[in-house]
Amino acid sequence: MNTLRSILLVLINILKSRTRLPLVGSAGGGQVKPVMLILLLLIAGFTCPEYSGVKAQPNLRTAAHHYLTNGELDKAKQAIDKACEHELTMNDAETWYLKSFIYKDVYTKKESADPDSPARIVSIESAEKAIDLDSERKYSDLCKELIKYLASSIFDDASNALNKGNHKFAIKSYEQYLEYIKIPEPDKQDASALFYVGYAALQDKQVEKAKGYLKRAINLNYDNPIAYLYLGNIYWSERDIEKSLNILEKGHQRYPDHKEILITQVNYYVELNRIDSLEDKLKKAIELDPKNIELYLMLAQVYERISEVDDNIEKYLPKAKVIYKKAILLEPNNVRANYNLGILYYNEAVNLINRLDYDVDFVAIGEIQDKCVELFKESLPYMEKAHKLAPDKKNTLIGLEGIYYGLGENEKSNEIRQKIEIIEKKK
Amino acid sequence: MSRRIIYILIIFNIQYSIFNIQSLAQPDAKQAVAHLQTIFIYRFTKYIEWPLSSKQGDFVIGILGDETLILNEMKKMAKGRKAGTQDIVVKNYKTIDDISECNILFIPRKESAQISSVIDKIKGYSTLLITEKEGMAKKGAAINFVGINIKLNFELNEANAKKYGLQVSTNLSQLAIIVD
């Protein structure tokens, strides 16, 4: 524009002066006719870069910057979008850097409440493009900081979505975050984000995805016991038993005081009937949760189960009784604790008789019988309590019927028998 | 920008379970008493002498009525066992008319009212009559189970045993409650 203006001023002066102009370089002072000069100047003017538009695009970028400075974001966007499309500026790192900045402002000033903000994504992708084009590394650091800032905002939006239970959106956003954060920090693996994707995927029943992300988080040593718990549960639900037990054990080793991991292990070992592994785990669980009566009941039942092996009766049956009594101290009106202890004594008595060999002599039989009477008498108060607390529980009635019969209280035994028959008729 | 805290609701079905380690089947006191009675009856065969005529063929233990507990226990005991040189065989006599010659006849409590008819039926047999109701030792039974059920004991009426040609060892007499 300046060149054209200059030419016009010259033309105007020529016309004003009506003088003959000397030829440049003519020694004899030859003269150019004004008309010719005007023509020459016009030709020069039409071919000047400003007039031909060759230098228009840097001005678009400048304009974009100008609009940005003035807060005219829409105009800034238009200008920079055009600059990004033009062949002369589309490969400049500066163009894309400016675009990322403009769109960043669009996001922060107009779309920050929108967790799906398109401007934010454009900004990030523009910054990435700028980095790719930035052979002189003039803009890369700035772009990386911008990406980190925006990626972090995506993480926050993902977390909000997760807190609100919008799991699909959370997954999408966390995965975006993980993708974008690699641009400024290619070696970074955000274990917490990996975990949260895993968690969200689990809630959304995308089990394979959940499994993959939880594994990655754990492999990065993510510091949260829940990761082990979730992954253990997933393996268990897929009946991948050994993997489940292994990961839970790893979690337990790392977090020995974590109650939920321990209890999950206990439950799984019980289901697998791996009784031998349970005693220590249950004792530890009780230490951590001393008022949890279920743990006492579990431990007592483990002892009962171990005592099934004859060699262990002497050692483990008394332990079971001690634990049941502790449970009853904790909750005197717990039906299961009372019933379980009552039936333990009852079973012990009956089993003593049933284990008698046909060749046993009468003296030995007498001793066993005396022991059984004692055991029935120990059993009775707990069974009667259990019956009082849950009068319709059939198993308690059957036990009571047997105890009364064993102790020779045939009338009471018959009364209980009638109650059992009433219950059976109701079914 | 700092990360917002994530409040994860761990909806986690931690199983403080109604948990049962695969409980054993609950044994039965009545079945245990039947087992005791079976042991006693088997032991009696070691302390009582039957006449020579009764030592041929199988050693038959009969049970009157439909008491399945004692019947099953007896059958279990009988498998592979002998009384002296005789294989033990258990027979169930549903009615008095079904009773045939046997070495031992057990009358469960609820069949006790029929003792007189039973005695008529086994006249001439060398049968050890065993009952489990009060007073039966005086009504013809050689042995009557008594005591509170798990603390089983037995009455012995030697005279009733001798009526059927049976010899009772003094060792057994010393263990029993003697009834004349």
Q: pLDDT tens-digit profile of A72-131?
A: 999 999 999 999 999 889 999 999 999 999 999 999 999 999 999 999 999 999 999 999
3-class secondary-structure state, position A24: coil
Cα dihedral A6, A8, A14, A16, rounded to 10, equals -120
Chain B residues inside the 8 Å CB shell of A377: none
Chain B residues inside the 8 Å CB shell of A365: 36, 39-40
For A33: left if phi > 0, alpha if psi spans -120 to 50, otherwise beta; the answer is beta
The answer to whether the Cβ–Cβ distance between B17 and A267 falls below 8 Å is yes
- Among B5, B6, B35, B110, the strongest candidate for a mutation testing the A interface, having the largest count of A CBs within 10 A, is B6
Which residue of chain A is at minimal alpha-carbon distance from B30? A402
Query: Any chain A CB within 8 A of the CB of B16?
Result: yes
Q: Kindly list the distances between the CA atom of residue A300 and the CA atoms of A105, A286, A306, A336, B85, in Å, as whole numbers in the listed order.
A: 66, 12, 10, 12, 48
The answer to whether the Cβ–Cβ distance between B147 and A408 falls below 8 Å is yes
The answer to whether the Cβ–Cβ distance between B148 and A407 falls below 8 Å is yes
In terms of Cβ atoms closer than 10 Å to its own Cβ (0-12, 13-18, 19+), residue A219 is exposed
The answer to whether the Cβ–Cβ distance between A358 and B151 falls below 8 Å is no
Query: Any chain A CB within 8 A of the CB of B151?
Result: yes
The answer to whether the Cβ–Cβ distance between A350 and B149 falls below 8 Å is no
What was the pLDDT predicted at A22? 42
The answer to whether the Cβ–Cβ distance between B19 and A351 falls below 8 Å is no
What is the per-residue pLDDT across B119-169, written as a single tens digit (0 to 9) for each?
A: 999 999 999 999 999 999 999 999 999 987 788 999 999 999 999 999 999
Looking at CA atoms only, how far is residue B173 from chain A in angstroms? 12
The winner for highest mean pLDDT among A38-52, A240-254, A311-325 is: A240-254
Looking at CA atoms only, how far is residue A51 from chain B in angstroms? 48
What is the per-residue pLDDT across A201-258, written as a single tens digit (0 to 9) for each?
A: 999 999 999 999 999 999 999 999 999 999 999 999 999 999 999 999 999 999 988 8
Torsional sign, CA B32, B38, B44, B45? negative
The answer to whether the Cβ–Cβ distance between B149 and A304 falls below 8 Å is no
Query: Any chain B CB within 8 A of the CB of A373?
Result: yes
Helix (H) or strand (E) holding B49: strand B48-49
What was the pLDDT predicted at B20? 43
Q: Is the pLDDT of residue A21 over 60?
A: no
- What's the CA gap between A327 and A299, in Å, rounded? 10
What is the per-residue pLDDT across B55-82, written as a single tens digit (0 to 9) for each?
A: 999 999 999 999 999 999 999 999 999 9
The answer to whether the Cβ–Cβ distance between A263 and B10 falls below 8 Å is no
Q: Is the pLDDT of residue A36 over 80?
A: no
- What's the CA gap between A69 and A335, in Å, rounded? 77
What is the per-residue pLDDT across B1-12, written as a single tens digit (0 to 9) for each?
A: 445 555 554 433
Using 50, 70 and 90 to split pLDDT, how confident is the model at B24? very low
Size of interface A-B (CB pairs under 8 A): 136
The answer to whether the Cβ–Cβ distance between A270 and B147 falls below 8 Å is no
What was the pLDDT predicted at A305? 80
3-class secondary-structure state, position B82: strand
- Among B1, B4, B7, B149, the strongest candidate for a mutation testing the A interface, having the largest count of A CBs within 10 A, is B149
Nearest to B19 among A156, A270, A361 (CB): A270
Beta bridge partners of B130: B106, B143
Residues 67-106 of A with CB under 8 A from B: none
Whether the Cβ atoms of residue A387 and residue A396 lie closer than 8 Å to each other: yes
Which residue of chain B is at minimal alpha-carbon distance from A225? B10
What was the pLDDT predicted at A8? 57
What was the pLDDT predicted at A257? 85
Chain B residues inside the 8 Å CB shell of A197: none
Looking at CA atoms only, how far is residue A379 from chain B in angstroms? 13
What was the pLDDT predicted at A426? 85
Looking at CA atoms only, how far is residue A423 from chain B in angstroms? 18
Q: What is the mean pLDDT of chain B?
A: 87
What was the pLDDT predicted at B2? 44
Q: Is the pLDDT of residue A15 over 60?
A: no
Whether the Cβ atoms of residue A194 and residue A222 lie closer than 8 Å to each other: yes
Whether the Cβ atoms of residue B179 and residue B62 lie closer than 8 Å to each other: no
Query: Any chain B CB within 8 A of the CB of A399?
Result: yes
Which residue of chain B is at minimal alpha-carbon distance from A400? B29
How much of chain A exceeds pLDDT 90, in percent? 70
Q: What is the pTM of this model?
A: 0.64
Residues 287-346 of A with CB under 8 A from B: 292, 294-295, 297-298, 301-302, 304-305, 308, 343, 346
Looking at CA atoms only, how far is residue B122 from chain A in angstroms? 27
- What's the CA gap between A304 and A340, in Å, rounded? 10
In terms of Cβ atoms closer than 10 Å to its own Cβ (0-12, 13-18, 19+), residue A325 is middle
What is the per-residue pLDDT across A122-170, written as a single tens digit (0 to 9) for each?
A: 999 999 999 999 999 999 999 999 999 999 999 999 999 999 999 999 9
